[in-house]
């Protein structure tokens, strides 16, 4: 693995946290209808999208990591689509 490995691991952890934030906001909005929960969901989704872009940049110099991220992207997109429904 390349020199960017610690940053890649941190970014993957951030994506996991972002998805959890989106899930929490989505659940809260479904139960309460409160705008603050919707805002939490939207912030989580927005941050996931940004972190995935950042991750692609971090792995651009490492084909093995890049391929792994390419396999991960549809899983992330699928999870976000589930939350949106």
* Residue 66 DSSP one-character state: H
What are φ and ψ of residue 40, in 5° steps? -65, -45
Give the closest residue to 22 by CA, choosing from 49, 4, 57.
Answer: 49
pTM: 0.84
* Residue 77 DSSP one-character state: H
Instruction: Give the separation between CA 65 and CA 73, rounded to whole angstroms.
Output: 12
**pLDDT tens column, 3-41:** 567 888 999 999 999 999 999 999 999 999 999 999 999
Residue with tokens 């949106």: 84
Q: Where do the structural domains in the chain lie, given as residue ranges? A: 5-84
Instruction: Give the separation between CA 57 and CA 5, rounded to whole angstroms.
Output: 12
């Amino acid at each position: 693995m390349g020199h960017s490995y610690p940053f890649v691991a941190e970014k993957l952890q951030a994506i996991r946290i972002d998805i959890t934030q989106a899930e929490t906001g989505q659940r809260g909005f479904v139960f309460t209808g409160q705008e603050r929960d919707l805002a939490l969901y939207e912030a989580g989704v927005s941050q996931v999208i940004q972190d995935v872009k950042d991750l692609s940049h971090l792995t651009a110099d490492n084909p093995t990591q890049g391929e792994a991220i390419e396999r991960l992207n549809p899983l992330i997109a699928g999870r976000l689509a589930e939350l949106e429904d």
